[in-house]
């Protein structure tokens, strides 16, 4: 089976698994329909409060030491997020802190401490450092 990449990619992803027909959409349960209707009836302020609570629970989960993601039943590597990093993300969400190049650099530095061997995170840090250097000129 040939996997198409680059300029040959036509929008169809071909799995390496034989007989894979793609992800099947499952119908919503009555409870999910009810929650969707309740969400649609909320005011923008109520929706923001719901989003904040959900974000807060995600940040709390990322601060815990246990694995947070499993792929094919195997726990994936996880480095807990510091309280300082979580608080900065929350302040950005709440609008208490403006998203400036300096703040992005601080977040990149905190993330780089969690993942010191990650080239992707290292690139993010370098990009943030370049933005700060460019804004100071």
Per-residue pLDDT tens over the stretch 78-98: 889 999 999 999 999 999 999
Going by pLDDT thresholds of 50, 70 and 90, the confidence category of residue 15 is low
106 within 8 A of 88, measured Cβ to Cβ: yes
What are the angstrom distances between the C-alpha of 95 and each of 10, 11, 52, 107, 120?
41, 38, 12, 15, 27
Task: Output the pLDDT for position 70.
Answer: 84
**pLDDT above 70 coverage of the chain, percent:** 87
Nearest to 13, CA basis, from 79, 22, 134:
22
Per-residue pLDDT tens over the stretch 43-75: 999 999 999 999 999 999 999 888 888 888 888
Measured CA to CA, the distance from residue 80 to residue 107 in angstroms comes to: 14
Residue 26, both tokens: 């499952």
Sequence length of the chain is: 137
28 within 8 A of 36, measured Cβ to Cβ: yes
Compute the average pLDDT of residues 13-41: 82
Domain ranges of the chain: 33-83, 98-137
Task: Output the pLDDT for position 88.
Answer: 95
């Amino acid at each position: 089976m040939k996997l198409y990449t680059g300029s040959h990619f036509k929008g169809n992803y071909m799995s390496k698994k034989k007989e894979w027909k793609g992800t099947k959409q499952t119908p919503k349960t009555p409870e999910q329909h009810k929650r969707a209707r309740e969400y649609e009836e909320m005011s923008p302020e109520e929706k923001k409060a719901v989003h904040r609570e959900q974000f807060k629970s995600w940040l709390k989960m990322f601060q815990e030491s246990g694995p947070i993601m499993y792929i094919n039943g195997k726990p994936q590597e996880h480095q807990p997020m510091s309280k300082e990093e979580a608080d900065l993300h929350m302040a950005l969400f709440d609008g208490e802190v403006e998203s400036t190049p300096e703040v992005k650099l601080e977040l990149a530095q905190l993330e780089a401490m969690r993942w010191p061997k990650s080239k992707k995170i290292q690139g993010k840090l370098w990009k943030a450092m370049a933005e700060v250097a460019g804004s100071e000129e």
